[in-house]
Amino acid sequence: MGIDAGFDMDPPLSKGGVDKQNWGRFIDLIKEQYKDDVQVQIMPNYINFNAGEHPKLPFEGHKFLRFSSKVSGAIASSSGVERYINTVTRVAKAHFGSRVQYWNENANQYGVHDWEKVNESIRSYEQPDVLETQASITPPLSEIDPVKEQGIALFEIQDIPGRGRGLVARFNISKGTRIICEKPLLTAGPMPSDKLELFLAKKLKAMSKTSQRQFLSLHNNFQGKYPFGGIFRTNALPCGSGSPIGGVYPTACFINHSCIPNAHNNWNSAEKHETIYAIRSIERGAEITITYDHGGASREREVFLKDAFGFRCDCNGCSLPTDLLKASDNRRVQIQSLDKAIGDPFRMMNSPRESLSDCFLMLQVLEQEFDGAASPMIARLYYDAFQISIAHGDQARASMFAERAYKARVICEGEDSPETLRVKSLAVKPADHSSFEVCSRKWQTTRDSVPKYLNTVQFDKWLFRQEN
Ligand SMILES: C[S@@+](CC[C@H](N)C(=O)[O-])C[C@H]1O[C@@H](n2cnc3c(N)ncnc32)[C@H](O)[C@@H]1O
């Protein structure tokens, strides 16, 4: 029978312009790589590797499902087919990221596509598609919206020096774009290591081969007695802020950490999926990052990341020159103490004006520290300001704060997140909140008393009650 190895393209490429261009570039690279290799033949419609079982790469990418061959036996080893498979897989991965799924029967791994379909696709290489009419020719790359083209990922998985694998933007991604939305492979709550290992083993056994492969291909920073638990601990993202339940995802778990991230992860409890949104514009080629930590100065973050995830962070925030790092640490400490003061219910009850003043200051510090990418924290902050206002009966300001919280939430969680929907409805009916007038009625206003003809500075002064 022999042992097969190779890679599958899953999902297969579309006929769309972006996939076409990427495949064209990939084919050009392969041609260049093997231009002096007599075993690699350029045929009219495909590249033929005259080794092993003669794996092929078609010039029409949408036809391609698998590149593979037997890698055991005399013919395979004398023709060096495994070397071709490894190199072509590496180049394909760099172009198509997680769509390229390597498998090797020697390691009990199998392709995702049926052999029947694969053979049919290979037969179709011989016959090129009928020439497209002028009207159906795809527009140039710059005119294509990749998000609208089905199946186009905005990122690819690449090796990142010093960080293992990570996600890299394939296009310029604008702030507020949904980059990933996926269901967990599995979830688990807190339990002792031995129990967790058994629990995960049972869950894995019940999963499809593809999902098992996805879980087992994730990084493990805690090698040892509990291999499944190690993978879980390295990769699990909390199912909700502060939730003890963690979820492991096929793609989101490849996202590395930065203390100044450009993306935000959120568990949508209604849809039971995790989303990743760009919280600043991300340039094509830049790494997509989220934050794993809970803030604090660099030393505090360092200890947390080492303990919880077993790595030392080398992000832009942590590698600042000493004086800038000191300034950043001061801001982080200030953010922590302002957060504590704003959340103090007694202060909110007895000195609400000071609480609002802290909110205003916090906004400036957040913007400075996160360089315009603080939407998740700003959303929370505006909601705090909403609560302070509504607790004293100020519906006008509460409604404005809820509207700002809503706008910030949309950027980092999208329109369909339960928290986005909640603050959106509070902007319309602030008095529906359970804290309405619980502290006093001293700031009582109606929603329609928002001043109309103020400039931005004057409006913020009114909003945060900074007028004399
Ligand atoms: C959830 S995984 C992310 C994907 C992982 N890099 C991989 O290769 O599969 C988390 C692990 O990635 C590495 N990592 C993530 N962010 C990092 C960073 N800023 N600096 C160094 N290593 C990092 C650490 O080993 C961490 O435990």
Q: Look at residue 294 in the predicted model and tell me its pLDDT.
A: 84
Which ligand 1 atom is nearest residue 310's CA?
Answer: 27
Question: How many angstroms separate the Cα of 206 from the Cα of each of 38, 186, 233, 241, 313?
Answer: 47, 11, 20, 28, 35
Q: Look at residue 29 in the predicted model and tell me its pLDDT.
A: 87
Identify the CA nearest to 274 among candidates 244, 246, 305.
246
Question: How many angstroms separate the Cα of 367 from the Cα of each of 73, 154, 269, 343, 373?
Answer: 62, 26, 28, 20, 7
Q: Look at residue 151 in the predicted model and tell me its pLDDT.
A: 60
Q: Look at residue 147 in the predicted model and tell me its pLDDT.
A: 52
Q: Look at residue 138 in the predicted model and tell me its pLDDT.
A: 38
Distance CA 137, CA 58 (A): 20
| Ranges in the chain, pLDDT < 50 | 131-146, 148
Q: Look at residue 130 in the predicted model and tell me its pLDDT.
A: 62
Give the torsion through C-alpha atoms of 139, 141, 143, 148, to 10 deg.
Answer: 100
ipTM computed for the complex = 0.99
Give the torsion through C-alpha atoms of 69, 73, 79, 84, to 10 deg.
Answer: 40
Sheet containing strand 256-257, edge to edge, reads: 155-160, 164-169, 287-290, 256-257
Distance CA 19, CA 391 (A): 54
**Cα-trace Rg, the chain:** 27
- Going by CA atoms, what residue is nearest to atom 9 of ligand 1? 219
Q: What structural domains does the chain harbor?
A: 4-143 (no CATH), 155-309 (2.170.270.10), 322-463 (no CATH)
Which ligand 1 atom is nearest residue 258's CA?
Answer: 19
| Number of other residues whose CB lies within 10 A of the CB of residue 138 | 16
Rounded to 5, what percent of the chain is helix, strand, coil?
45, 15, 40
Q: Look at residue 231 in the predicted model and tell me its pLDDT.
A: 96
Question: How many angstroms separate the Cα of 202 from the Cα of each of 57, 187, 231, 245?
Answer: 39, 12, 15, 17
Residues 6+ apart with CB under 8 A from 280: 175, 262, 371, 372, 373
Choosing from 163, 287, 292 the residue with most ligand 1 atoms within 8 A of its CB, the one to mutate for a pocket test is 163
Q: Look at residue 134 in the predicted model and tell me its pLDDT.
A: 33
Pocket (CB within 6 angstroms of ligand 1): 162-166, 218-219, 221, 234-235, 253-254, 256-258, 309-311, 313-315
Q: How far is the CA of 163 from the centre of ligand 1 (A)?
A: 5
Distance CA 274, CA 237 (A): 9
Choosing from 223, 237, 256 the residue with most ligand 1 atoms within 8 A of its CB, the one to mutate for a pocket test is 256
Distance CA 161, CA 338 (A): 36
Q: What percentage of the chain reaches a pLDDT higher than 70?
A: 95
Q: Look at residue 140 in the predicted model and tell me its pLDDT.
A: 39
Q: Look at residue 75 in the predicted model and tell me its pLDDT.
A: 84
Q: How far is the CA of 236 from the centre of ligand 1 (A)?
A: 12
Q: Look at residue 314 in the predicted model and tell me its pLDDT.
A: 87
What is the sign, positive or negative, of the torsion defined by CA atoms of 233, 237, 241, 245? negative
Q: How far is the CA of 90 from the centre of ligand 1 (A)?
A: 20
In the beta sheet, which residues pair with residue 275? 181, 266
